Amino acid sequence: MRKAFSLLLSLIIATSVFVGGCSNSSSSKSASSNKQNNGKVANNAQLSGEITVWGWPAADTAFKAIMPGFNKLYPNIKVKVIMMKTDDVHTKLLSSLAAKSGAPDVSMVENGQIGKFAASGGLEDLRGNPYLADKLKDDFVSYAWSEATTMDGRQIGIPWDIGPASLFYRRDIFEKAGLKSDPESVTNELNTWDKFIEVGKKIKAATGGKTYMMSNAENMFSLYFTLNHNYFDDKYNLLLDPVKMASILDISQKARENGIDAKVNMWTPEWQAMFKNGTLATEMAGCWFGGFLKTWIAPDLKGKWGVAPIPENAAYNWGGSFLVIPSQSKNKEAAWAFIKYALATKEGQNAMFKAVDYFPAYKPAWDDPIYHEQDEYFGGEKTRELWIKIAGQIPNIRVTKMDPQVSSILTQEAQKAIDQKLDSQKTMEGAIKKIQQAIAQDLQTLKAQMK
C-alpha cells in the first residue's frame, strides 16, 4: 500500500527548483563559523549562508508558504528547494550518503523508507549539539517520533506529517441502500469486518450489482500487516505469527467470496473511474486522502462523502514524512533552524497545513481552531477531530531497512491467496519462509553490528 502511493507520486510530479530567502550580507558563513553553545544555535541574525533542501511535491508549495515567516526570523539564510520524484529523493540521498558527497543540507524521507536510512548511516543524530532534539520529543506524536528513532537510540529525523487512517464512504450510496449515513451510525454499523461485509452485500444488491463496497479485498490484510506492524523485536528476531496472519487473510478471502470488492488496485485508471461512475462505496486511506478527493479524485462530490473509523481497530497510520540533516551539511545550524521553524512551531506547521493539507505530527499545532472546524466537503463533519483522536491511539513501532521487503512479500502472497483461493495457513507459512530468505543477508549484518 505504501509502495502504491509512492508510485502514484512518481507518475504525477517532476523535478523543480525554487530559492527562498534573502541575504543582507555578501558573505556566507558555514556552521563551523557559527558557534555551538551548549546546543543553542547562534543568534538568528548571525546565521547566514545557503542551505539546499530536497523533497517531492507538494512540499515546494508548503515551503513557499513558510518562507515569509522564516525569512523574518532568519533574514540571512537562503533556502534552495529542489523537488524530484519521491523515489528519486530516496535513491539519490542513499547514493550521496554512501559516497560521502553530494547530499543536501536537509532532505525529506518518507516514513516507509526511514528504516533504510537508519541502517545506512550518514545522517546527524539530532540528540546532540547543536540540535538537542529530545527537548522536542513530547511535542510530537509518539509513534511518528519513534519511527525515526534507531534501534541504538539515535534520532535521525523530525516528523513532519502523519496519516491517521480512516474509512471514507459515500453518504448517498449508503442512503440508496436504506442505510443511515451519518458518521456515528456508520461507525456503529461497521464496527466489525463481518458487519462491513454484510453492508457491502446490501449496497451491491441495492445498486443492481454495480457498486462495490471496496476496491480490493487485500486492503484488509494490508491494514494489519503493512501499517503499524512491528516486524522485528529489538534484537531483530522476526515477529510474524502465521496463525494470526492466516486469520486476517481469511477475512479478506471472505470479502472476495461475498463479491463485495471490485478486484481493482488503488491508483489505477480503473480505480479512478469508479469514483466518477459512483461504483465504489468506501475507501480506506490516510487522512491525506481527503485532500485528494477534494482536489482531483472527486471534486464535484462535495457533501456526498463522510469519514468514519476503520472497523475493529481504528489505530492505523498510513503515510507521513520526516526532515533529516546529512552529516555532510556545511551549514548544520541553518539547516536545523529551518527544520525547527517548519516542523516545531505552530506558525510553520499550520502555514504548511493550510497550503497543502499535510496533517502535522506536531501536537501544539492542533490548538488552532482550523482543526475543530466543520468540513463542508464531508457534510459538515469535524474530520480533523477524528484524525486527532486516531493519532492518539496509534502504537509505537520499530522500523528497519528490511520492512519494505517484508511488506512487499506479505502483500504479494496475500493477494495471490485471495485471487487463487489458496489455503491461508499454508500461504502465510510460505510467505514467512520467503521473507527469511530475502532478508537473510541484511539480518546477519545487522545482528553482527549489535555485538
Read off the pLDDT of residues 124-160 as tens digits, 9 standing for 90 and up: 999 999 999 999 999 999 999 999 999 889 999 999 9
Distances in whole angstroms, Cα of residue 177 to Cα of each of 152, 170, 255, 275: 53, 11, 18, 18
Confidence category of residue 397, pLDDT binned at 50, 70, 90: confident
Mean pLDDT of 228-253: 94
Q: What is the pLDDT of residues 166-195, one digit of tens each?
A: 999 999 999 999 999 999 999 999 999 999
Cell, residue 127: 540528540
Rounded distance between C-alpha atoms, residue 437 and residue 181, angstroms: 47
| Strands of 12-140, DSSP E | 16-20, 49-55, 77-83, 106-110
Full domain range(s) for residue 296:
167-315+402-450
Confidence category of residue 451, pLDDT binned at 50, 70, 90: confident
pLDDT, position 26: 33
**Residues of the chain by 3-state class (helix, strand, coil), percent to 5:** 50, 15, 35
Q: What is the pLDDT of residues 55-82, one digit of tens each?
A: 999 999 999 999 999 999 999 999 999 9
User: Which alpha helices (H) appear in 101-170, and where do they start and end?
Assistant: 114-120, 142-147
pLDDT, position 403: 93
Whether residue 23 is predicted with pLDDT greater than 50 in this model: the reply is no
- At 382 the three-state DSSP class reads coil
Mean pLDDT of 330-349: 98
Residue 30, domain member (yes or no):
no
C-alpha 204, offset from chain centre:
32
- In the predicted model, what is the mean pLDDT of the chain? 91
In terms of domains, do 134 and 171 share one? no
Residue 31, domain member (yes or no):
no
Provide long-range contacts, Cβ within 8 A and 24+ apart, for 259-262.
259/201, 259/204, 260/197, 260/200, 260/201, 260/203, 260/204, 260/212, 260/213, 260/214, 260/217, 261/200, 261/212, 261/213, 261/214, 261/215, 261/216, 261/217, 262/212, 262/214, 262/215, 262/216
Distances in whole angstroms, Cα of residue 389 to Cα of each of 185, 349, 425: 18, 19, 35
Residue 12, domain member (yes or no):
no
pTM: 0.90
In terms of domains, do 54 and 127 share one? yes
Q: What is the pLDDT of residues 341-375, one digit of tens each?
A: 999 999 999 999 999 999 999 999 999 999 999 99
**CATH assignment of the domain containing 226:** 3.40.190.10
Domain end marker among 392, 422, 442: 392
pLDDT, position 69: 97
In terms of domains, do 311 and 346 share one? no
Q: How many domains does the chain have?
A: 2
Kindly state the percentage of the chain with pLDDT values over 90.
84
Rounded distance between C-alpha atoms, residue 420 and residue 408, angstroms: 18
In terms of domains, do 268 and 414 share one? yes
